[in-house]
């Protein structure tokens, strides 16, 4: 039972948390932030034009890139934070207990730098970029609303030209 529970919360391709696990951790994080008057940051990450990678180099290569993206994302966060693959080429970072909401910018910049290095597999090489949306959770918005806010901010980053990050604001 314990193994099944673990498998149900892990992305089989990358070995990191999956959408279900992420949603549970986000809900717990929002609840904790509200109780302790703290903040968290949710970074929603979508790889730009990833379909082109799969179309030109095949799904095997694309899967290897997704695996490597997960490894690189795990390297830019603290141990108390969470990296998850939400599905396809979408990832999320949950930065728990942040002091300054703008500190998420530093992590977003690390993500963009980490992903800018070429990915290699079977003598092929490709570069990818990502668009990131950032939402700050402090307990005033529900977990699902915080997730939607980060998603909206990510689409705004794509609209502004991709390979960048954007914070959610109420005007979106």
- The pLDDT tens digits for 69-78 are 999 999 999 9
Judged on CB neighbours under 10 Å (0-12, 13-18, 19+), 127 is exposed
Model-level pTM greater than 0.75? Answer: yes
Q: Tell me the C-alpha distance between 149 and 43, whole Å.
A: 10
pLDDT (tens digit, 9 = 90+) per residue, 45-60? 999 999 999 898 889 9
Bridge pairing between strands 130-137 and 165-167: parallel
Catalytic (active-site) positions: 89
């Amino acid at each position: 039972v314990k193994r099944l529970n673990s498998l149900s919360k892990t992305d089989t391709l990358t070995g990191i948390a999956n959408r279900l696990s992420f949603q549970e951790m986000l809900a717990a994080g929002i609840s904790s932030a509200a109780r302790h008057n703290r903040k968290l940051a949710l970074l929603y990450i979508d790889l730009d034009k990833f379909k082109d990678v799969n179309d030109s180099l095949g799904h095997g290569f694309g899967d290897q890139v997704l695996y490597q993206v997960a490894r690189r994302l795990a390297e830019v966060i603290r141990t108390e934070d969470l990296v998850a693959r939400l599905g396809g080429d979408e990832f999320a970072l949950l930065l728990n207990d942040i002091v300054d909401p703008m500190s998420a910018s530093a992590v977003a910049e690390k993500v963009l730098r980490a992903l800018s290095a070429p990915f290699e597999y079977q003598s092929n090489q490709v570069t990818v970029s990502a668009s990131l949306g950032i939402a700050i959770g402090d307990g005033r918005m529900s977990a699902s609303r915080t997730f939607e806010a980060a998603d909206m901010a990510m689409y705004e980053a794509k609209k502004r030209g991709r390979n960048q990050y954007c914070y959610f604001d109420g005007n979106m």
